[in-house]
Amino acid sequence: MSQWSFFQSTLIIALLSPLGLFLAASFFLLLVPSGHAKRRVLWGLLTLLFAFSCTDFCGKKLLAFLEALAPEAKEGSGVRSAVVLVLGGGAVAEGQTYQPSVSSQRRLRTAREILARGRDGKLLLSGIESPLMAHWLRASLPREKVLLENRSLNTEGNLRESAVFLRRLYPDERLRPQVFLVTDRFHMARALRWAKKFMPDFEFVPSPAPSLVRDVPWHPVNFVPTCRGLELTSMAWREALALLRDWFRSHYEKQNR
Q: What is the pLDDT of residues 76-134, one digit of tens each?
A: 666 678 899 999 998 888 877 889 999 999 999 999 999 888 667 899 999 999 999 99
Range of the domain at 61: 3-68+221-255
Same domain, 86 and 153: yes
Do 9 and 62 share a domain, yes or no? yes
Q: Check whether residue 115 and residue 151 sit in a common domain.
A: yes
Q: What is the pTM (predicted TM-score) of this model? A: 0.87
pLDDT computed for residue 36 by the predictor: 67
> In this structure, are 143 and 31 located in the same domain?
no
Residue 172 lies in a domain: yes
Residues 26 and 119 in one domain: no
DSSP annotation of 251:
H
Instruction: Say whether both 10 and 106 belong to one domain.
Output: no
Same domain, yes or no: 56 and 95? no
User: 122 and 200 in one domain?
Assistant: yes
